[in-house]
Amino acid sequence: MTLLELLEKQTLEKAAITDQESFSYAELIQQAKSYRNQFSDIKGCSVAIIYGDIKEFIVALCALDGFCKNLYLLPDRHTFPNMVVNDTSIVLWPDHEIIQAEEAVKAPCINTRWFIATSGTTSVPKWIEHQFESLIGSVKTSNKMSKLVWGLLYQPFRFAGLQVLLQSLVSGASIVDLTSEEVKEKLLKMHKFGVSAVSATPGMWRQLLMGEKLSELVLSHITLGGEIAEQSLLDMLKRTFSQAQVRHIYASTEAGVGFVVSDGKAGFPADWLAESKDNLLSMFIDDSQHLWIRSNAVSQAIVNELADKNGFIDTQDLVEVKGDRVLFLGRATGVINVGGNKVHPELIEQTLHDIEGVRGAHVYAKKNSVLGSLVHADVVVCERDDLLAFKKEIIEYCKSKLQRYEIPATIKFVDNLAMTQAGKLRRETMNA
């Protein structure tokens, strides 16, 4: 079943998009069908969508899924799929411009292949293939879910944003685009349109929690993903929204949605390693503490490219088992070497976040002629006058919780932390 066919099952007069000007499911469907008639010449082609606004993006997805052969969601206008994918004909949407001139095959399409770009730091992204069925595999539908108003904080052409968008559309809910506003404007817009469900990275949630009006929202569904969901943040969200369902999702562009944790605890149950969860997902930890997963929801193309002979994909996430819990340590590529000792910056950040008054932290390495590198931290704090005294408190707390080589050599107070376009903390290479 295509996206368009699924939307035709919704309450057609209901607003699919809520904004200054709302658009009903009926209007989106009508325009999608109109596009198919107007641009019948691209049936069977490969199409690359340039994101303009949320309405045009949704209409394009509805029109093109099941209509075109391949569907590429471009992260920007300058990243054409023909730079990284050997395709015979690619049409640029909405320009309707042929960017590769060979003759397209105008055969009817049923199973459109969706390609989503990874959000890595390289100049040319890696394209990951998905099937529509796998993209909506984690979508929840019910009468309750259809009444939600989702706040879209992720860019919808990236995997996390597309998941929120499809959850809203397939469940018959409404969505509010919040991707282009600053934090203050996001909160005002959430209030104005009655947002009741939000999915964001932990870094985004910390920014929102610094806003004055977040606690006044009536949120019933809260989701975290993309970064480690720390216990202190989970507890803070549950205190602020006691009636809300708080979940953290483990997912990636490559592996899709791995699993969802809804018990209010960081990490995931250790017994998930010993069994195949719902017969869909298997996991194990190798000798280097890498988490490997095998999911039936992952497309065969991804398995062929990334998986080992048993179908497992190395997530490059480091984990450790503590009691009945598996806890995330950080990315394997982000480990800091301090005099031969391995330091996980995410663990230091978690320690800093546990301190009352700290609203955000970024731990990184700087080169050192003696030890190779040292740990440094940028910290965002609540407004206060005694910053010098508070810095001493932070250092003393770190001394009580961390090994000597893990304690930040310097702590710098900053107004905000740089985020990537995917909403994650920007982690640069080592500073000199």
Using the predicted structure, report yes or no on whether residue 41 has a pLDDT greater than 70: yes
Using the predicted structure, report yes or no on whether residue 104 has a pLDDT greater than 50: no
Residue 322 CB neighbours (<10 A): 10
End-to-end CA distance of the chain: 54
Residue with tokens 């503590």: 322
The predicted-structure confidence for 240-266, as pLDDT tens digits, reads as follows: 999 999 999 998 877 778 899 999 999
The Cα–Cα gap between 92 and 103 comes to 15
How sure is the predictor about 113, in pLDDT bands with cuts at 50, 70 and 90? very high
pLDDT of residue 122: 42
Q: CA torsion 333→336→341→342, rounded to 10°?
A: -40
Is the Cα torsion angle 32, 161, 269, 128 positive or negative in sign?
positive
Q: What is the CATH number of domain 1-266?
A: 3.40.50.12780
Residue 5 CB neighbours (<10 A): 12
Residue 254 CB neighbours (<10 A): 19
Identify residue 432 by its one-letter amino acid code.
A
Topology alike, domains 274-333 and 335-413 = no
Burial of 186 (0-12, 13-18, 19+ CB in 10 A): buried
pLDDT of residue 175: 97
pLDDT of residue 97: 61
Average pLDDT over residues 265-292: 87
Q: Where are the domains of the chain?
A: 1-266, 274-333, 335-413
The predicted-structure confidence for 307-361, as pLDDT tens digits, reads as follows: 898 889 999 999 999 999 999 999 998 999 999 999 999 999 999 999 999 999 9
Average pLDDT over residues 151-177: 95
How sure is the predictor about 306, in pLDDT bands with cuts at 50, 70 and 90? confident
Give the DSSP per-residue string, 164-205.
Answer: HHHHHHHHT-EEEE-TTS-HHHHHHHHHHTT--EEEE-HHHH
Q: What are φ and ψ of residue 19, in 5° steps?
A: -160, -160
- Asked whether the beta carbons of 343 and 375 are under 8 A apart, the reply is yes
pLDDT of residue 252: 82
pLDDT of residue 289: 96
Quick one: fold of 335-413? GMP Synthetase; Chain A, domain 3 (3.30.300)
- Token pair recorded at residue 344: 């996980």
Paired with 365 in beta bridges are 375
How sure is the predictor about 123, in pLDDT bands with cuts at 50, 70 and 90? very low
pLDDT of residue 212: 75
Average pLDDT over residues 113-117: 91
Average pLDDT over residues 355-376: 94
Average pLDDT over residues 80-87: 58
Q: What are φ and ψ of residue 259, in 5° steps?
A: -155, 165
The Cα–Cα gap between 344 and 331 comes to 8
The predicted-structure confidence for 184-239, as pLDDT tens digits, reads as follows: 999 999 999 999 999 999 999 999 998 878 999 999 999 999 999 999 999 999 99
Quick one: fold of 274-333? Luciferase; domain 3 (2.30.38)
